[in-house]
A and B are shown apart, each in its own frame.
Chain A
Amino acid sequence: MMPARRKGLGPLILIAPAAVLLGVFLVLPYLNIVVMSFRMPGQGTPYGAGFTIGNYTKFFVDSFYLLQVANTLWIGLITTAICLVVGFPVAWQLARGAMRFRALAYGLVLSPLLVGIVIRSYGWTILLGNAGLINRTLTGMGLIDRPLPLMYNALGIVIALVHVFLPFMILPIMAAIQGVDPSLESAARSLGASRFTAFRRIVLPLCTPGIQAGCILVFVLSLSAYVTPSLIGGLRVKTMAVTVVDALIDTFQWPWGSALALMLSVTGALCVVIFARLTRMKWKVGRT
């Protein structure tokens, strides 16, 4: 018989620091935002007296904001998909490949995180701008007459976001692949499966947890990204995060900005829940 698990303070003590941190710096501000989102807009002040649901009706009535949410989700989705497609082979190589310069490869994977976000985004403007390196080179070579629109649009934002968030896709997938015993592939092949079938039926399902984690991380980070979209998207393409900051800081409409921020959180959370549901692993649930 297993000894009965002691129901003491042990577990509580272990999670206490994180719980306090989250409580003070996440839950309380969130509650504040929820309350704020129901306040009246102010005249010359951040918010007025009394409560209303007007901020939310404004959001749902004005298709401009709904479209912006859709736009933001779309950018997040595309960024996540590209990160997955580009990152998986890298993760595979890092986890399984016989590499001489593994440490260097790790460094390269992590390199986007080592540069400050503002500098990195400015770096992209230097590359992607109309007078940027890429366009100048291409026009110089006579390949294009007019500069390609690489900046101030969704494409530029996606390119820059993929660059920043790729490590968040690669690292969890790499860990997951490392957790899959290579002899499982051999076993599948001994049973008559081709390399591809062995990968599809055995390896891929087993590293789903890593893929799931990577996708959720990149998606959520993309939705909430601010600096990159605001610098590269400029005034033309705005993501929700940029609009929220505009409302809160530029136009000083705290209730409206709070409502927008909450709608962004809710739609993002909904997407994550749906995604997690769709990729649920029965064999993990069924464990005893």
Chain B
Amino acid sequence: MTEVSIERLTKTFGSARAVDGISIRIADGEFISLLGPSGCGKTTTLKMIAGFEEASEGAIRFDGKDVVNVPAEKRDIGMVFQNYALFPHMTVDQNLAFGLEMRKIAKPEMLSRIAKVLDMVQLGGYSDRYPNQLSGGQQQRVALARALVIEPKILLLDEPLANLDAKLREEMRVFIRDLQRRVGITTVYVTHDQAEAMTMSDRVVVMFGGRIAQIGAPSDIYERPENLEVAQFVGQVNLVRGTILGGTITGPAGAGKSRVASVFGDVAVDSRADHAPGTAVTLSLRPEAIELKPAGQGGAQGKVMARYYSGSIIDYRIALDSSETLHVQTFPNIRIAEGDRVSVHAPADGFWLLGAAQ
């Protein structure tokens, strides 16, 4: 039952600011992801929470108590590493027992806790195996069990799925998420994989260059990105030029929307800030929001330049007559071939106003 509060946390290496004054409040039992490209400071932040890296400035509070000067072994954290970091000279049982021995837990309780956790990660019966006798996914689950068996205040995961193959990765996402919910432990998860962050987290912290670009629920990050960088990092996005039109939009649906003239006509677009009429703006348009119809059915007109079939979806590249290129994702139930002329429809709620055009 731990609430984590990070306040103006900074880490400098020489003159470089790896983490630059970030603040995050993590609620008890919350699953939060630090998402960003490599070098954005997410791993350094995690290491500072764990106590492996000293904070240059700022505070890290566990339930209000600053732990910046507490050594890693006294912070009561459970950590899962990218390469699992299982002790190769110890069996699964011994790996799990290690943290309990450090806590001087009596033998009978130790055994029952190990058995319980192994059961939880579905590895009962693997007690006597050495790590190199386990598959990658199994090692991952042992690492998870080893971190959880000590019943830590906080669970920290550093790109734990990066070394697994795609199918296993998707299974483990669900597995870890379910386990975290059941245990109810406050969790910080570091990843560069936006799909991982979105599916697992209560909230996602998007980081670039040591700073926080946006904190929000996955749907918030995806549908209402703070800026172009965030929009491009969390998914594929089409950029559409537009101009702010004057006049207000009436009705409850109009709140917070701006009228924008674009190649798709006049649309009422959600935005965070107001812009003066006449301002050139950039709109984002997600590929899956776009609808393709045979030519001559209204909307913007264009031509299919390329079509990529991948089972559950088809990707299209469309060259609009207005010379813009669009990336469109559709269900495979429409039959439009390369070279066909198409009508492109984009519903107003597929747009998001990113900001003034640069």
Are A186 and B52 neighbours in the complex by a CB distance under 8 Å? yes
Are B99 and A191 neighbours in the complex by a CB distance under 8 Å? yes
What residues of chain B lie closer than 8 Å to A286, measured between beta carbons? 130
Are B78 and A190 neighbours in the complex by a CB distance under 8 Å? yes
Contact of B79 with A by CB under 8 A: yes
Contact with B along A166-203 (1 / 0, CB 8 A): 00000000000000010110111111111001000110
Are B50 and A202 neighbours in the complex by a CB distance under 8 Å? no
Contact of A43 with B by CB under 8 A: no
CB of B62, distance to nearest CB on chain A (Å): 14
Contact with B along A182-226 (1 / 0, CB 8 A): 011011111111100100011001100000000000000000000
Picked from A183, A189, A206, A287, the residue with its CB within 8 Å of the CB of B73 is A189
Are B52 and A288 neighbours in the complex by a CB distance under 8 Å? no
What residues of chain A lie closer than 8 Å to B334, measured between beta carbons? none
What residues of chain B lie closer than 8 Å to A190, measured between beta carbons? 50, 72-73, 77-79, 147, 156
Q: How many residues from A make CB contacts under 8 Å with B?
A: 22
Contact of B182 with A by CB under 8 A: no
What residues of chain B lie closer than 8 Å to A206, measured between beta carbons? 88-89
Cα–Cα distance between A189 and B78 once the two chains are bound (Å): 10
What residues of chain A lie closer than 8 Å to B78, measured between beta carbons? 190
Are A192 and B132 neighbours in the complex by a CB distance under 8 Å? no
Are B130 and A192 neighbours in the complex by a CB distance under 8 Å? no
Are A181 and B73 neighbours in the complex by a CB distance under 8 Å? no
Which residues of B140-185 have CB atoms within 8 Å of chain A's CB atoms? 146-147, 150, 156
What residues of chain B lie closer than 8 Å to A101, measured between beta carbons? none
Q: Which chain A residue shows the least CB distance to B96?
A: A191
Contact of A270 with B by CB under 8 A: no
Contact of A64 with B by CB under 8 A: no
Cα–Cα distance between A281 and B52 once the two chains are bound (Å): 30
What residues of chain B lie closer than 8 Å to A25, measured between beta carbons? none
CB of B48, distance to nearest CB on chain A (Å): 13
Are B52 and A189 neighbours in the complex by a CB distance under 8 Å? yes
Known: A181-B83, A183-B83, A287-B132. A192 touches B73 (CB 8 A): yes
What residues of chain A lie closer than 8 Å to B81, measured between beta carbons? 183, 186-187
What residues of chain B lie closer than 8 Å to A202, measured between beta carbons? 87
CB of B183, distance to nearest CB on chain A (Å): 17
Contact of B313 with A by CB under 8 A: no
CB of B193, distance to nearest CB on chain A (Å): 20
Known: A189-B73, A191-B99, A193-B102. A181 touches B85 (CB 8 A): yes
Cα–Cα distance between A288 and B128 once the two chains are bound (Å): 13
Contact of B90 with A by CB under 8 A: yes
Are B85 and A192 neighbours in the complex by a CB distance under 8 Å? no
Are B98 and A193 neighbours in the complex by a CB distance under 8 Å? yes
Known: A190-B77, A191-B99, A192-B73. A281 touches B89 (CB 8 A): yes
Contact of B103 with A by CB under 8 A: yes
Q: Which of B52, B78, B89, B133 has the most CB of A within 10 A?
A: B89
What residues of chain B lie closer than 8 Å to A197, measured between beta carbons? 102
CB of A58, distance to nearest CB on chain B (Å): 48
What residues of chain B lie closer than 8 Å to A184, measured between beta carbons? 85, 87
Are B89 and A283 neighbours in the complex by a CB distance under 8 Å? yes
Cα–Cα distance between A197 and B104 once the two chains are bound (Å): 14
Known: A184-B87, A186-B52, A191-B146. A283 touches B130 (CB 8 A): yes
CB of A47, distance to nearest CB on chain B (Å): 52
CB of A191, distance to nearest CB on chain B (Å): 3
Are B85 and A189 neighbours in the complex by a CB distance under 8 Å? no
What residues of chain A lie closer than 8 Å to B86, measured between beta carbons? 187
Cα–Cα distance between A281 and B89 once the two chains are bound (Å): 8
Are A193 and B85 neighbours in the complex by a CB distance under 8 Å? no
Which residues of B31-85 have CB atoms within 8 Å of chain A's CB atoms? 50-52, 71-74, 76-79, 81-83, 85
Are A187 and B87 neighbours in the complex by a CB distance under 8 Å? yes
CB of A281, distance to nearest CB on chain B (Å): 7
Are B85 and A183 neighbours in the complex by a CB distance under 8 Å? yes
Q: Which chain A residue shows the least CB distance to B104?
A: A192
Cα–Cα distance between A267 and B79 once the two chains are bound (Å): 49
Are B72 and A186 neighbours in the complex by a CB distance under 8 Å? yes
What residues of chain B lie closer than 8 Å to A194, measured between beta carbons? 73
CB of B312, distance to nearest CB on chain A (Å): 33
Cα–Cα distance between A246 and B209 once the two chains are bound (Å): 73
Cα–Cα distance between A186 and B53 once the two chains are bound (Å): 11
CB of B326, distance to nearest CB on chain A (Å): 44
Q: Which of B51, B81, B146, B150 has the most CB of A within 10 A?
A: B81
Name 24 A/B residue pairs within 8 A (Cβ), A-sorted.
A183-B82, A186-B50, A186-B52, A186-B79, A187-B146, A188-B87, A189-B51, A189-B73, A190-B78, A190-B147, A191-B99, A191-B102, A191-B146, A192-B99, A192-B102, A193-B102, A206-B88, A281-B89, A283-B88, A283-B89, A286-B130, A287-B132, A287-B133, A288-B132
A-B pairs with the 5 shortest C-beta distances? A192-B102, A191-B99, A187-B85, A190-B79, A283-B89
* A interface residues (Cβ-Cβ under 8 A, vs B): 181, 183-184, 186-194, 197, 201-202, 205-206, 281, 283, 286-288
